[in-house]
Structure 1
Amino acid sequence: MRIGIIAHLKHPIAEPFAGGLEMHTHLLARALRQRGHAVTIFASSRSETSLGLEAICSETAIASVGTAEATDIAFFQEHHAYLSLMNGLRHRPFDIIHNNSLHYLPVTMADSLPMPMVTTLHTPPFCWLESGIRLCSANNNALVGVSQSVANLWAHVQPVDAVILNGIDLEKFAFHADPDPDDYLVWYGRIVAEKGLHLAIAAARQIGLPLRIAGPILDEAYFRDVVAPMLGKDAIHVGHLAHNELARLVGGARAFLCTPLWDEPYGLVVAEALACGVPVAAFARGAIPEIVNDSCGVLAKPDDVRSLAEAGRAALSLDRHACRTRAEEICDARRMVDSYENLYRRMIRSAAHNDSSGHDVPSRFASPNPPIPFVQAERSRAHG
């Protein structure tokens, strides 16, 4: 298949990844190319060229900046980058477009394309993207939720056509049967207020183990005013690590503390920790309860440091092999890519049938044996 993937533009699709969306886009493009598909990724200029990159904007041009005037300029630069792309795609020989951006224009303009499009919903509804989906009149656009939690949050706007859990490259997050001799807990991810790092630091101190912290500082004010004053010998920020270094850090931990202050749409960091064999103690928010079960983690009351500390202490005794098994069952990227390939093919067949029949075919892309979304399959096993 000839597949075009539309990325978001604020950060490059390259290591070290700014966040889970960048990693997901990179993994999907790379896996599809390895399976023999012709993949072009439309992304920012500093993205990895081996992915078949066509740069449509410099991420430095649209980065969030301080003044209102500069922010307005960035908004229009991003708007026009996507507008130019969507107009150009009308004349490109793609079989399908996968919209992995968070921008309103690609989904709004889906009906202008001659080929079908998949739009993956990576976040709960927010005003711009919600308006784009409400304005989308295309029969050839399928909506995918990255978790059942996300699907539920979008149901009042538009029901999703499939739930496909995100996946990770299990080989890149190798299993560590034993933790590092220097007992420590780990927290990693984007350092922004909604990730709740300050609560992880407080909980780690109650547990009585040092906390190692990795990730890019994307909210300077939050880091300066809230996080930095809490750092010390028992809470160290080791920086923004490359993939291999990060996997070693995570794999050596006794447990991973996950502290989202919002409904986490999926939680790639949870999947990565489990793949390394590291038990998880996490606030029960968003999709995290879909990934973590009693064999691999302990859920805590959201925003409650004491509850998280109790969960962290309980997680220390969980079996590391069981954590890896859980990751293999529901977090393997190969399952994710299989599901997207199946969806692409159904949509392409539907579009071809529509063209040949000369009339509009109901395009919810149903098939006689549609793939069961991973989360639903897991629930069936759990209750069957």
Structure 2
Amino acid sequence: MTLKLPDAPTRFGTASRPLRIAMIAPPWFELPPTAYGGIEAVVADLVDTLSARGHEVTLIGAGRNRTRASRFVAVFEEPPSLRLGEPMPEVLHAAATAEILEDLDYDIVHDHTLAGPLLARCRPTYTVVTAHGPVTGEPGEYLRRLGKTIELVAISDAQRRLNPELNWVGRVHNAIDVRSYPFREVKGDYVLFLGRFSPDKGPHLAIDAAKAAGRRIVLAGKSSEPAEKAFFDREIAPRLDRDVTYVGQADAAFKRELFAGARSLLFPIQWEEPFGIVMIEAMACGTPVVALRRGSVPEVVADGVSGIIVDTPEELPAAIVAAEQLSPAACRAHVLANFDLPALAAGYERVYTTLIEARELHRETAGQR
């Protein structure tokens, strides 16, 4: 059965009854994460919001549980964070999850892992998979081969356009708890880059643009994997000076402080970023985003209202200066209207409920034959 979901609200906009949801998080970090972990942050917020809306959520993850899930099962007592990128923790997590699900009663499975969807074919109900990363190249071929054994949700229209032949059933933008981000009207004396230190993220371009605009820049983010360390040593360390400050990886509290005080967040992305949650985090604090027109950027940033979008790195310095004239209040209002947690929960409720009702209708129709 082929089922395509609209992205606008339908008669299935909210669940007609509480659902039993098995939520499978990646194994690498606790939920919510204390620092790095964009996927984990989204999953934790989704679990909390769905639970608050009356659903019974069983969360399968690692480490401690600090969510509102009805039940939590830890595959790993300590998250294997230092082994991020190795295959075995992910495979062990998938195998353990399959065993855990055998003893659960659930209406639907929502899997956020890489290896877990391989086992969806054996499940008695739908497995919703959120495409948190690339959907082209080898990842795209993987999702294509999984075919209709999974129900795939995009996190942006831009992501879905990159590989329209996959079994997409809808699009749900990522979201944050806007109330947990401090709004600040008066900004500090710096612009900000926050993200992984990778060529794809463009931190070297952010530094060069800030210098050209005559602005001090603060850099924060993850540089722990070998490729990240090599890139940092090659491209970032030589650029550090009194106007270019690296503060390391920021935890949740420090990250919010940095966002709130920055004149703008620089997002000179060098790949088709499927979402970029740092953009909505910055705007929630009243901080506009200066970004290159790649991936989801035009969906997330209201150009001329909550940020400035340009096409080339050469245009970034002028955009940095222009962004300082934008209204911090308009930045926060944009996020409240489009990327707050109620929209996230309602989007996934629509996906879950439409799939479940379609399955029940199919069974009823089959029983009448």
Please point out which of 57, 63, 67 is paired with 2:83: 63
**Counterpart position of 1:177:** 185
Shift of 1:224: 2.3
Relative distance call for 1:147 and 1:173 in structure 2 (3 A) is same
Please point out which of 2, 16, 31 is paired with 1:13: 31
RMSD of aligned Cα (Å): 2.4
Matches within 5 A, 1:294-309: 294-302=304-312, 304=313, 306-309=314-317
Matches within 5 A, 1:196-215: 196-215=202-221
Q: Would the aligned equivalents of 1:62 and 1:75 in 2 still touch at CA under 8 Å?
A: no
Q: Deviations over 1:10-53 (max 9, x none)?
A: 33333323132121112111222222322222223356476443
**Counterpart position of 1:68:** none
Please point out which of 223, 226, 233 is paired with 1:217: 223
Q: Deviations over 1:235-281 (max 9, x none)?
A: 11222222232112211111111121111101111111111111111
CA distance in 1, matches of 2:112, 2:367: 29
Residues 1:54 and 2:73 aligned together: yes
Shift of 1:60: 2.5
Relative distance call for 1:14 and 1:329 in structure 2 (3 A) is closer
Q: Deviations over 1:291-312 (max 9, x none)?
A: 112212111224x2x2111211
Q: Which has the bigger relative contact order, CA under 8 A and spacing at least 6?
A: 2
**Counterpart position of 1:41:** 59
CA distance in 2, matches of 1:320, 1:77: 42
**Aligned amino acid, residue 55 of structure 1:** A
**Counterpart position of 2:50:** 32
- 263-272 or 86-95, which deviates more: 86-95
CA distance in 2, matches of 1:50, 1:354: 33
Q: Deviations over 1:127-176 (max 9, x none)?
A: 5543443333546x4211100001111213x1521111111111011321
Shift of 1:97: 0.8
Residues 1:310 and 2:330 aligned together: no
Please point out which of 164, 168, 173 is paired with 1:160: 168
**Counterpart position of 2:8:** none
Relative distance call for 1:55 and 1:132 in structure 2 (3 A) is farther
Shift of 1:79: 2.0
SS of the residue corresponding to residue 278 of structure 1 reads: coil
TM-score under structure 1 normalisation?
Answer: 0.82
Please point out which of 335, 338, 345 is paired with 1:330: 338
**Counterpart position of 1:130:** 140
Q: Would the aligned equivalents of 2:206 and 2:267 in 1 still touch at CA under 8 Å?
A: yes
Matches within 5 A, 1:86-125: 86-101=98-113, 103=114, 105-125=115-135
**Counterpart position of 2:242:** 233
CA distance in 1, matches of 2:292, 2:168: 26
Q: Would the aligned equivalents of 2:135 and 2:143 in 1 still touch at CA under 8 Å?
A: no
Aligned residue-pair number = 344
SS of the residue corresponding to residue 97 of structure 1 reads: strand
SS of the residue corresponding to residue 90 of structure 2 reads: helix
SS of the residue corresponding to residue 216 of structure 1 reads: coil
